[in-house]
Amino acid sequence: MAVEKSVFGKGLNGEEIMLYTLKNSKGMQACVTNLGAILVRLIVPDGQGNGADVVLGFDRAEDYFGNPSFFGAVIGPSANRIGGAAFSLDGADYALDVNDGPNNLHSHKEKGYHKKLWSAQVSQNSVTFSLEDADGNMGFPGRKKVQVTYSLDEDNALTLHYHGSSDKRTILNLTNHTYFNLDGHDSGSIEAHTLWLNASRYTPVVQGSIPTGEIAAVAGTPMDFTAEKTVGQDINEDFEQLKLTGGFDHNWVLDGWDGTLRLFAVVKGPKSGRVMKAYTTLPGVQFYAGNFIDPQTGKEGASYGKRSGLCLETQYFPDSVHHSQFPSCIFGGENGQDYDSVTVYRFE
C-alpha cells in the first residue's frame, strides 16, 4: 500500500502544498495535506461497496486559507477555549489572542497550527506531519515540537497519533476538527444521524462556552447519549445549556478514562448505513453538531450550512488550565511528560 502524493495548490509565498492519499484494499481512502495537517477527503464504502466522501472540506488548498469552520484541521497548540484569553503558569502570566468574545478559541485563527505548512514524511501506509513552534508564539511558552501521524489499515480504521514536546511547561491540547456526514459530505443535515457516547457526565458552560468547573450528570437531560438516539431528537429542547451554544457544542467527560485506547462513540448514517466507531486515549470529546457552519460552497460544488456535519474533537477539557479538578493539559519542561495521544475512527 503506497501513499500517493500530488500537488494540492500553492501557499501564500508560492510554495507547493501537497496532498497525500492513503488507500487500503477495501476501497477506503484518506487524503491529507501538509497545510494544517488537514484531512481533506475520506472515502468510505457503504454496505453495497459504494464509496462516498464522508468529511466536509474544499477542493483546493487555497480554499483552506479562510476555512472559518476549521474543516478537517489539526488544532494546536491549544484546542477549544481558554477563558479570558490568558493564563498563569509557574509564576508567569501569558496573554493569548482575544478571538472569541473575551476568550481564546483554537489558539489563533490565522497563526494556529491549522494554517501552518507542516513537513511531511511518508511511510508504508501512513504520513507523519511535523512542526516546530517558537517559544512565545501566539502567547504560549516553550519551544514546541509537534507531530501527527495519519495511518490507514485494512480494518477501515483511520488512526491519528499525536506527539508533542516542549522545553518549558506549556499547554498542549491537540485535536482534529473534522466534520463527518456518514451519508456523504453533500448530504445535508446530520440531525437524523444516531449517536452513542460513552459519557455519563459533561462540563456545563456559561455564556461564551467557558466551563463552569462543574462536572454534571447527563441523566435526565438532552445531553444524555448513553443510549443511542438521533442528533436531532433533543437538539431544540428548552434547555439552558443548548440555548447557550445553539445546540450541542459541549465537552463530554468520557467514562472510565485511564489513558488507554477506548471506544467512546458510535455514529450511524441513516441513508447509507455507514457506522463509525471512535476510540481515544483522551479524557474528553467536544461533540459539536455544526450549529454555526456558515452557508458556503464545499467540495464538488456542495452546499454546506448549519448542521451539515458533526465533530467529535477528542481533547483535554476546555479551559482546563483554570480548573484544577479537570485533567491537566500541561506538558513539557525539564522533568515534565511529553504530550502523546491516539484517536481512531473506524468504519463498518
Q: Is 226 annotated as a binding residue?
A: no
Q: Which of 108, 191, 313, 323 is catalytic?
A: 313
Q: Which residue has the cell 466536509?
A: 56
Q: Is 81 annotated as a binding residue?
A: yes
- Is 177 a catalytic site residue? yes
Q: Is 169 annotated as a binding residue?
A: no
Query: Are β-strands 205-206 and 284-288 bridged in parallel, bridged antiparallel, or unpaired?
Result: unpaired
Buried b (16+ CB within 10 A) or exposed e, 58-94: bbebebbeebebbbbbbbbbbbbbbbbbbbebeeeeb
Whether the CB-CB separation of 343 and 150 falls below 8 Å is answered with: no
Q: Residue 277's closest CA among 290, 258, 291, 261?
A: 261
Q: Is 249 annotated as a binding residue?
A: yes
Q: Which of 177, 185, 250, 323 is catalytic?
A: 177
HSE (CB half, 13 Å, CA atoms) of 214? 8
Q: Is 179 annotated as a binding residue?
A: yes
- Grid cell listed for 156: 477501515
What's the CA gap between 186 and 197, in Å, rounded?
Answer: 25
* Catalytically annotated residues: 177, 313
Annotated binding-site ranges: 80-81, 177-179, 249
Annotated binding-site ranges for beta-D-galactose: 80-81, 177-179, 249
